[in-house]
Amino acid sequence: MWIVRLALARPYTFVVMSLLILIGGVLTIQRMAVDIFPDIPIPVVGIVWTYSGIAPEEMNQRIVVPVERAITTTVANVEHQESQSLKGIGLIKVFFQPGSDPDAGVAQLTAISQTLLRVLPPGITPPLIIRYSASNVPIAQTSLSSETLGESDLFDAANAFIRPGLAVVQGASVLLPNGGKPKQIMVDLDPTKLAGKGLSGNDVVNTLLAQNVIIPAGSAKIGTREYDVRLNSSPEAVATLNDLPIKTTPDGTTVYIRDVAFVHEGAAVQQNVVRQNGRRTAIIPILKSGSASTLAIIDKIKQVLPNIQANAPPG
């Protein structure tokens, strides 16, 4: 009853307090993050190993199994593991005990993966470690199409212009483009000409590796100035790779790459095709990362898209 008596004795004070509570509630609601994909932590971490050209059986025996054994003995709070071996790809899912910290598991898996690189097949790269979450789904997709550009140019534009432009959006994780053809330098060998010159494919590979390098060569001081000196053996144009010498025969004839092969700019074998309204295009999936609001990320993406489109290649 004392609250009622106090309110009757000081009515203006309670009116002001009520207004402050009302205004504070409205401001809090306006500033509260609205998210349609809340961050729900799941104690599961994925490890993706890649080793180009290796068969699924070899991937399982030489990479996946040793990694699973190391995880069992070194990483804490592991409940069980699941793995899948594909051609050139090994995927390991590590399930942690309920209530454990997935971030601590990611740190331990990163450390043990770096250590295992010494005992795994030579040339293997560090794995991609992904923490699973209920919000790890695409929240947006940006498509790129053109009536004049080819699929290789579309892929390059998506990877070199669109992705960096979207990466500045806070909370957005921009993945590699789907669709299109990634450009690469192709070396078409002629087996008949190689056999006629007494060469093999390894000779061509070694020539390209040895004569397509940039080597620092110290510095040269001329007068009061000091200049950096480098040996630039990297051709500026792809076509000039055909003019690299492979060997000199006993009769003094020089065998060039163009005599046994053809180096040109091409594209990798297309692994996926994306169509929009019947036309081939490239799309960029965008995921949410961190605790940022999904709706806020979408709004920021819409704001930066006009600037990205203005700076994109013509066509």
Q: 291 versus 222: which is more confidently predicted?
A: 222
Domain coordinates in residue numbering, the chain: 41-133, 138-182+270-311, 183-267
Q: What CATH homologous superfamily does 41-133 map to?
A: Multidrug efflux transporter AcrB pore domain (3.30.70.1430)
pLDDT at 232 over 80: no
Can you tell me the distance from the alpha carbon of 243 to that of 213, in angstroms, rounded to the nearest whole number? Answer: 15
pLDDT at 246 over 80: yes
Q: What is the pLDDT of residues 35-90, one digit of tens each?
A: 666 666 678 889 999 888 888 899 999 999 999 999 988 888 889 999 999 888 99
At a CB cut-off of 8 Å and minimum separation 6, what does 192 contact? none
Can you tell me the distance from the alpha carbon of 31 to that of 29, in angstroms, rounded to the nearest whole number? Answer: 6
Can you tell me the distance from the alpha carbon of 6 to that of 127, in angstroms, rounded to the nearest whole number? Answer: 68
What pLDDT sits at residue 268? Answer: 77
Q: 32 versus 180: which is more confidently predicted?
A: 180
Q: What is the pLDDT of residues 146-161, one digit of tens each?
A: 777 778 888 888 888 8
Q: What is the pLDDT of residues 4-21, one digit of tens each?
A: 676 677 777 777 788 888
**Buried b / exposed e across 166-198, counting CB within 10 Å, b at 16+?**
beebebbbbeebbbbbbeeeebebeeeebeebe
Residue 158 sits at the vertex; the CA angle it makes with 154 and 161, to the nearest 5 degrees, is 120
Q: 302 versus 231: which is more confidently predicted?
A: 302
Q: Is residue 290 very low, low, confident or very high in pLDDT (cuts 50, 70, 90)?
A: low
Q: What is the pLDDT of residues 172-197, one digit of tens each?
A: 888 888 887 888 888 999 999 988 88
Which pair of tokens denotes residue 257? Answer: 């790459």
Distances from the Cα of 45 to the Cα of 79, 104, 148, 199, 311, angstroms: 12, 11, 42, 48, 38
Whether the domain at 41-133 and the domain at 183-267 fall into the same CATH topology: no
DSSP 173-223: EE---BSS--EEEEEEE-HHHHHHHT--HHHHHHHHHHHS-EEEEEEEEET
Residue 92 β-bridge partners:
47, 83
> Torsion over CA of 156, 161, 165 and 171, rounded to 10 degrees?
10
What pLDDT sits at residue 91? Answer: 92
Q: Tell me the CATH number of domain 138-182+270-311, given options 3.30.70.1320, 3.40.50.1100, 3.60.15.10, 3.30.420.10.
A: 3.30.70.1320
Specify the DSSP element, H or E, that contains 16. Answer: helix 11-31
Distances from the Cα of 204 to the Cα of 14, 78, 146, 264, 296, angstroms: 88, 48, 37, 14, 53
Selection from 14, 6, 24, 282 nearest residue 161 by Cα? 282
Instruction: Find out if CATH 3.30.2090.10 is the number for domain 183-267.
Output: yes
